[in-house]
Amino acid sequence: MGLERLEYFLALADELHFGRAAERVHISQPALSQQIKKLESELGATLIDRTNRSPTLTAAGERLRTGGQELLGAHARLWEDVRAAAQGRTDTLRLARTRSSTDPLITDLVSRFQDAYPTVAVHTSTGWTAWNLTQLTIGTFDVAVVRGHPRHPGVRTMRLARSELVAVVSDRHPAARRGGPIGIADLAGQALVIWPRELGPDFYDRIVTHVRDRSRRPIILEADNASTFDAVAEGRGFGVLDRIRVPDDHPGITALPFAKPLRVDLRLAWHGEPERGGALAGFLRLAQRVAVRT
Could you tell me if residue 66 is inside a domain?
Answer: yes
141 vs 198, residue with greater confidence: 141
CATH of the domain at 217: 3.40.190.10
Could you tell me if residue 37 is inside a domain?
Answer: yes
Could you tell me if residue 195 is inside a domain?
Answer: yes
Q: Return the minimum-mean-pLDDT range out of 158-162, 191-195, 210-214.
A: 210-214
Could you tell me if residue 88 is inside a domain?
Answer: no
What pLDDT is attached to residue 105? 83
Q: How far is CA 284 from CA 38, 121, 145, 270, 277, in A?
A: 43, 16, 12, 9, 11
pTM for the complete prediction?
A: 0.67
Q: What angle do CA 162, 142, 279 make, to 5 degrees?
A: 95
Where is the domain boundary, 72, 97, 117? 72
Stretch 117-142: mean pLDDT, rounded?
85
Confidence of residue 88 (pLDDT cuts 50, 70, 90): low
Could you tell me if residue 35 is inside a domain?
Answer: yes
Q: Return the minimum-mean-pLDDT range out of 78-87, 221-230, 243-252.
A: 78-87
Q: Is the pLDDT of residue 12 over 60?
A: yes
Stretch 80-93: mean pLDDT, rounded?
68
103 vs 144, residue with greater confidence: 144
CATH of the domain at 61: 1.10.10.10
pLDDT digits (tens, 9 = 90+) for 235-293: 999 999 988 888 888 899 999 999 999 998 889 999 988 888 789 999 999 999 888 65
Could you tell me if residue 252 is inside a domain?
Answer: yes
What pLDDT is attached to residue 90? 56
Q: Return the minimum-mean-pLDDT range out of 7-21, 39-53, 97-111, 212-226.
A: 97-111
Q: Is the pLDDT of residue 74 over 80?
A: no
Number of domains in the chain: 2
Where is the domain boundary, 21, 48, 72? 72
For residue 262, give the nearest of 171, 100, 148, 176 by alpha carbon. 148
What pLDDT is attached to residue 224? 78
What pLDDT is attached to residue 201? 87
Could you tell me if residue 52 is inside a domain?
Answer: yes
What are the start-end ranges of the E strands in the chain? 48-49, 56-57, 91-97, 120-126, 143-147, 155-170, 192-194, 219-221, 238-242, 253-271
Nearest-angstrom CA–CA distance, 45 and 118 = 46
**Going by DSSP bridges, is the β-strand pair 143-147/56-57 parallel, antiparallel, or unpaired?**
unpaired
Q: What's the half-sphere exposure (Cβ side, CA atoms, 13 Å) at 154?
A: 13
| Percent of the chain residues topping a pLDDT of 90 | 35
Could you tell me if residue 28 is inside a domain?
Answer: yes
Where is the domain boundary, 47, 72, 97? 72
* Terminal C-alpha separation, the chain: 49
pLDDT digits (tens, 9 = 90+) for 190-202: 999 998 888 888 8
Range of the domain at 221: 161-265
